[in-house]
Chains A and B, each alone.
Chain A
Amino acid sequence: MLTYTVKRLFSLIPVLLGLSLVVFFMIRAIPGDPAQLILGQLATKEAVESLTKQLGLDQPWFVQYFHYLGNLVTGDLGESIRTKAPISEEMVPYLMATIELSFCAMLVAVVIGVNAGIISAWFQNSWFDYVAMVLALIGVSMPIFWLGLMEQWVFAINLDWLPTSGREEVRNPVTAITNIYIIDTLIQGRTDQLVEVIKHLVLPSIALATIPMAIIARITRSTMLEVMRSDFIRTARAKGLKMFWVVYKHSLKNAIIPVLTIIGLQTGLLLGGAILTETIFSWPGIGRYIYEAIGYRDYPVVQSGVLVIAFIFVMINLVIDLLYAAIDPRIKYH
């Protein structure tokens, strides 16, 4: 297992290099002079020149690229034009907010999605199967902003169970340590705040989970159906094993690989694609951070934000790959 892990880690190097190249050329693909674009129409010639120099744009591209790569390796992502703060510091709270939300959303999506898929396959063509698959179809095609506003209207305004927006009860603010509020409130032993933080997480998590949940449910169902028709399952049943174990142990283990793939891809998509949810629920996450940076023509932030999200996406897929090998030992020998 160790050699496999090391091998997979090495194979990441070209991927990450390619990634950095693409992101590097992104800012250079903008038509016109980036320095002029950053400073705007009214900038003086001197200002443009000094920024060109500061960005290193007066040097050949490979010199620029290696300089950029060097900065990346040391964790220097540059400086935001709008706020003048180092991006690597500024981004942390946003990134953590998004990770917390995405994690909760994926938890909801996986727990409900996988189980719904399994049960649908187990009781194929039952009323549960029909209802679950129709709901999944609705889930995939649901506009998130509409769902979000409806959630707020039902659960916050009419039922008054949950708050509509934000991460915390602002009148009783959380002291940030890791910026993942569930952990922060646990460390500080503030159970009153923990409850508030979880309450704030519920509605956006459900909104964000809807689409992945539906996709996971459908994939789980179809792979489970395939597996459950195979010979070894018939054998397991024939030797008198309880149906529950047949389904949750023997079948699921063999059906899980495609499901894991989907979970990995969807988690990556959530990180970058949460802008709508973050906007509706005013969640201060990385999607909105990048989106607002676009509006202010804050290219370094856009560049670094894309890079970080892409990096996490690659890492999640690495973890998924390693999980394959752990689940199916045959994979590491290929």
Chain B
Amino acid sequence: MKKRTSLMFLAFILMLSLALVGCSKNTANESSSEGEGSGSEEAAVDTLVFGRGGDSVSLDPATATDGESFKVTKNIFETLIEFGEQDTELAPGLATEWSNSEDGLTYTLKLREGIKFHDGTDFNAEAVKFNFDRWASGDKEQYYYYNSQFGDRIKEVKVVDDYTVEFVLNSPLAPFYKNLAMSPFAIASPAAIEEFGDKFMENPVGTGPFVFKEWKRNDKITIVKNEEYWQEGLPKLSQVIFRAIPDNSARLNALSSGEVDLIDGVNFSDVGTIEANADLQSFYRPSLNIAYLGLTSTRGPLKEKLVRQALNYAVDKEALIDAFYAGAAEPAKNPMPPVVAGYNDDVVDYEYDPEKAKELLKEAGFENGFEMELWAMPVARPYMPDGQKVAEALQANFEAIGVKAKIVTYEWGTYLDKARLGEADTFLLGWTGDNGDADNFLYVLLDQDSIGSNNYSFYQNQEVHDLLIAAQSTADQAEREKLYKEAQVLIKEDAPWIPLVHSQPALAGKANITGFLPHPTGSDVLSTVEFK
């Protein structure tokens, strides 16, 4: 017993001394931390904390495929050609001028002079060639975007002089310039790529307004001001911290309590609360997306065009927008949003008309309706805030014309795998454009070549295919737009989808933030952002 008491006593002494050490450290530190205090407080004013739904996967834009990665790399790296501030028009980036030959096979770009990468090495034509050679030499899985956008189309990248670079193509590629402006094709420092090798994705070095500082996975990424940035007076912030806060409500809570300054992925139903709060403001991202219900045209009654048209007539899109998008969306009639060049506004949508739908069903021989599965997305996306509820609304719409839809859902990865294999009768899905080109919607989502990748509805129409291929290989923009407009008329008639809405994803920030311009592609340059 005695032994135990003395043990207890020892433990007590230990705890006491620990506490004392803690206290003495405290007082010893006070003076020094006060000294730093003013400095860190100043830094806090021009530090922006950006709350978002997930962490990045890779900070090497060439190997990244997810939006959360590009959100960060967009601020560390720059592309040869940039998109406009809030649209997908072409604007000068690392290249100041560009031109191409008549036949669309040779593209010449003049590069901006005097730019350095964050590691102090020079940006020049050699660096551009190095990057393109790197992407072309890697395998398909590694450089996904390079292979999907350029494939083996680029024959050669020539260094004409230090600041002129020439691309020679095997066949014309109409969206060439738009592709160059996409985040994955940002130019990285060759020296850093060689130095870090496989670890480059954790040590990104570019020319952008911010320099990479630290990455704690699944938690936060810190980037700091590039003091040598070539654009005078930018960036305005000294530091940006990207934090991953997966739950939408928790993220809004973090904004309300002041832990973060700006958040994306705001529930449409929360916009009202934000607007009522004087300390906060809301933003809308210009729409570059489409939410749709795919009608797999290889399955059961859905093989019939009349049936697919009938389902189109049955859906009340305005009601969906009021109920689930708080009005921040417009009804979709084409498979791409109106901002994309080549959008055909003359296409007439199947209006909401259940009677007409029933007539078509009768004509198709399904007078008594039929049963089908309706797949509901298990995750929220900017174009689809609540898949389950949207599915229920559609179910009610279909019920009204005698079609019994059974709602089905799977874990997200499985959902995509199964839908890609054509196992869904009808499925909810959507798409956010990468480069604002019509090709990136129509060819990627509805061409017969894309069956097995992104054409989940197994839509096949030779005429549409010919138009889309012709549009890909024409350099003449007016001609391309004409071809895309024709394709949209055919697609409308065939009704492989029910195009639902184009949504404007909502964001929110502190009221004193200025200069934030949400970009339709979802990757925002934060160099002009500041606190009032």
A interface residues (Cβ-Cβ under 8 A, vs B)? 39, 41-44, 47, 82-84, 90, 93-94, 145, 148-149, 152-153, 156-157, 160, 163-167, 170-173, 176, 186, 189-192, 279-282, 284, 288-289, 292, 294-297
Q: What is the size category of the interface that chain B forms with chain A?
A: 35 or more
Instruction: Report if B120 contacts A (CB, 8 A).
Output: no
Instruction: Report if B96 contacts A (CB, 8 A).
Output: no
Known: A192-B33, A284-B218, A284-B219. A83 touches B58 (CB 8 A): yes
Nearest B residue (CB) for A42: B453
Q: Is the CB of A191 within 8 A of B453?
A: no
**For residue A42, which residues in chain B have a CB less than 8 angstroms away from its CB?**
140, 452-453
Known: A47-B141, A191-B29. A165 touches B220 (CB 8 A): no
Q: Which stretch (B242-250, B296-304, B402-410) binds chain A?
A: B242-250
Q: Is the CB of A170 within 8 A of B49?
A: yes
In the complex, how many angstroms separate the beta carbon of A44 from the nearest chain B beta carbon?
A: 7
Q: Is the CB of A152 within 8 A of B219?
A: no
Contact of B249 among A84, A149, A166, A172 (CB under 8 A): A149
Instruction: Report if B241 contacts A (CB, 8 A).
Output: yes
**For residue A176, which residues in chain B have a CB less than 8 angstroms away from its CB?**
216
In the complex, how many angstroms separate the beta carbon of A167 from the nearest chain B beta carbon?
A: 7
**For residue A149, which residues in chain B have a CB less than 8 angstroms away from its CB?**
247, 249-250, 253
**For residue B139, which residues in chain A have a CB less than 8 angstroms away from its CB?**
47
Between A and B, 18 residue pairs with Cβ closer than 8 Å are A39-B141, A44-B140, A47-B139, A90-B217, A152-B257, A156-B259, A163-B257, A170-B259, A171-B40, A171-B43, A186-B22, A191-B29, A279-B246, A280-B247, A288-B246, A289-B218, A296-B413, A297-B413
In the complex, how many angstroms separate the beta carbon of A25 from the nearest chain B beta carbon?
A: 21
Nearest B residue (CB) for A176: B216
Instruction: Report if B25 contacts A (CB, 8 A).
Output: yes
Nearest B residue (CB) for A288: B218
Q: Is the CB of A192 within 8 A of B29?
A: yes
Binary per-residue interface labels of chain B (251-285) against chain A in the complex, 1 for a CB within 8 Å, 0 otherwise:
10110110100000000000000000000000000
Contact of A172 among B26, B40, B244 (CB under 8 A): B40
Known: A41-B452, A288-B218. A294 touches B249 (CB 8 A): no
Q: Is the CB of B220 within 8 A of A170?
A: yes
In the bound complex, CA of A145 to CA of B25 (Å): 38
In the bound complex, CA of A294 to CA of B411 (Å): 10
**For residue B251, which residues in chain A have a CB less than 8 angstroms away from its CB?**
165
Q: Is the CB of B259 within 8 A of A164?
A: yes
Binary per-residue interface labels of chain B (31-50) against chain A in the complex, 1 for a CB within 8 Å, 0 otherwise:
00100000010011001010
In the bound complex, CA of A253 to CA of B49 (Å): 51
Instruction: Report if B463 contacts A (CB, 8 A).
Output: no
Known: A191-B26, A191-B29, A284-B217. A164 touches B40 (CB 8 A): no
